[in-house]
Structure 1
Amino acid sequence: MPSWDERFRDGDYPRNPDPSPVLRRYVDSFPDGRALDVATGTGRNAVFLAEAGYRVDGIDRSREGLQIARQNAIDRGVADRTEWIRADVPTYAFPESTYDVIAISFYRAVDRFPDIKAALAPGGALFVQHHLRSSEDLRSGPSGDRYRYGANELLRDCLDLTVLYYDERTETRADGRSGAVVRLVARNSTGQRQSYPRVDPFECETGD
């Protein structure tokens, strides 16, 4: 299987894909400040968050992906609000209580998810979307189950936060491939009485 550098270089992955519709729908309810995009790739969510006014750190191990992300930020006029960090997520030292928003899109942070959650500032928002394990023969996402979430697994992993949105569904992409995907929005807060954002219904997408 080609490396991510090769996939980005050869154009197998979109160079400037749209941000996640769920993230776009909820961003106005998130606190202002600093954001982190884990496994940013070509910066689809990082650049969007910078356009929304955040100071954004985008982490990825792919040099080629980060070069594209950096150019995307320049093209969209937000280069001064983005920092691109070439690092391996499994060994990266996530700073505690630092980020007001953390996004993870189609990357399974095996063994590092508690550290990523600990990087949320009090009241900070977490957005995650990723592939699910499925009994169906689906064509998108990782080939094995180790890097997919099981049913309700992501929800259970976030019960120490306030879950604002959660869904699991099978979707068909524009290229005809189907995928089972989970999406979550949560806030780093606890307590039985809280405020909750008002958001309109939206459509979601399947990704790589």
Structure 2
Amino acid sequence: MHTHDSTEQPPSPEAFWEERYRSRDRVWSGRPNPVLVDTVADVEPGTVLDLGCGEGGDAVWLASKGWRVTSVDISGTAIARTLDNAKAAGVGDRVRGERHDLAETFPDGAFDLISAQFLQSPLEFPRELVLRRAAHALNPGGLLLIVDHGAAPPWSDHKDHYFPSATEVHEGLDLDPDEWRAERVGSAERDATGPDGQTGVLIDNVIAIRRRGD
């Protein structure tokens, strides 16, 4: 008779996310995140770091606008799908992929835009540390755009889950205001459709931080 070992270790973050991606042919819609689109649609393209790129919906859109994209995810499957989707969209030459467990390693270089769209995990994850490191990886004048879930979806079973406010997220980064300027700290609403066709309004936290120029 097999008995459960109560000391059994939970899966590693890499194994967790690999299983999530490998379990389905497609996890995400493929559409770019709307706050990202609204924020940078008219910005002159440069270099961008896409943290937690998923299957590349944001990366492909950014590359189509002329950005040179470094796509980062902990899942090798996610990176492969991002690169495949970029190639299929004709922008493969402007998208490169790097696999990182951001709790351990971070991409080299400096960037004009760093996008952290829903960079949240059900596993232990040093998120504030990662986002603070991202702020330090901006070029002078560069923008860090963070978008988080501000509340549970109307159809969620987890309405009692605590979601930090945009102000709390910003303050948790503890960035020197002489070097970084908060351009936006607040919330945005958008219409969305749930997994079973439910419709409702989602609340996103939006934190946009500009690194001051030299």
Which TM-score tier does this pair reach, normalised by the shorter chain?
0.7 to 0.9
| Aligned residue among 47, 70, 88 for 2:60 | 47
Indicate how the Cα distance of structure 1 residues 69 and 151 shifts in structure 2: closer, same or farther if over 3 A, else same: closer
Q: Give me the CA root mean square deviation.
A: 3.3
Please say if residues 36 and 103 of structure 1, whose CA atoms lie closer than 8 Å, have aligned partners that are also in contact: yes
Alignment of 1:116 onto 2:139: no
User: Among residues 66, 71, 84, which one is paired with 1:58 in the alignment?
Assistant: 71
* Identical aligned residues as a percent: 24
Residues 61-70 or 29-38, more deviating: 29-38
8 Å CA contact 2:86–2:92 kept in 1: the answer is: yes
Q: Which residue of 2 aligns with 1:206?
A: none
Answer whether contact 1:30 1:125 (CA < 8 A) is retained.
no
> Which deviations, in whole Å up to 9, do the C-alpha atoms of 1:10-42 show, x marking residues without a partner?
14622x521122211221454532110011111
Residue 20 of structure 2: aligned partner: 7
Q: Residues 71-82 of structure 1: matches in 2 within 5 Å? A: 71-82=84-95
Structure 1 residue corresponding to 2:96, chosen from 65, 83, 97: 83
Structure 1 CA distance, aligned partners of 2:155 and 2:86? 33
Partner of 2:80 in structure 1? 67
1:165 to 180, 184, 209: 184
Show structure 1 runs of 5+ residues with no match. 191-208
Kindly provide the amino acid, as one letter, of the partner of residue 154 in structure 1. V
One-letter amino acid of the structure 2 residue matched with residue 126 of structure 1: L
Larger radius of gyration: 2
TM score, norm. by length of structure 2: 0.72
Shift of the 77–21 alpha-carbon distance from structure 1 to 2, 3 Å rule, reads: same
Structure 2 distance, partners of 1:22, 1:34, is: 18
Distance 1:36 1:133 in 2: 26
The answer to whether the aligner puts 1:189 opposite 2:208 as a matched pair is no
Tell me the alpha carbon deviations over residues 103-159 of structure 1, each in whole angstroms, 9 at most, x when there is no partner. 00111424222111000000001111112367x9872889965xx534511232367
Q: Distance in 2 between matches of 1:45 and 1:64?
A: 16
CA distance in 2 between partners of 1:188 and 1:110 (Å):
17
Report SS of the residue matched to 1:173: strand
Letter in 2 for 1:100: D
- Highest relative contact order (Cα 8 Å, sep 6+), 1 or 2? 1
Matched to 1:114, the amino acid is: R
Residue 75 of structure 1: CA displacement?
Answer: 1.0
Looking at structure 2, the residues matched to 22 and 140 of structure 1 have their Cα atoms a distance apart, in angstroms, of 25
So what's the TM-score if we normalise by structure 1?
0.74
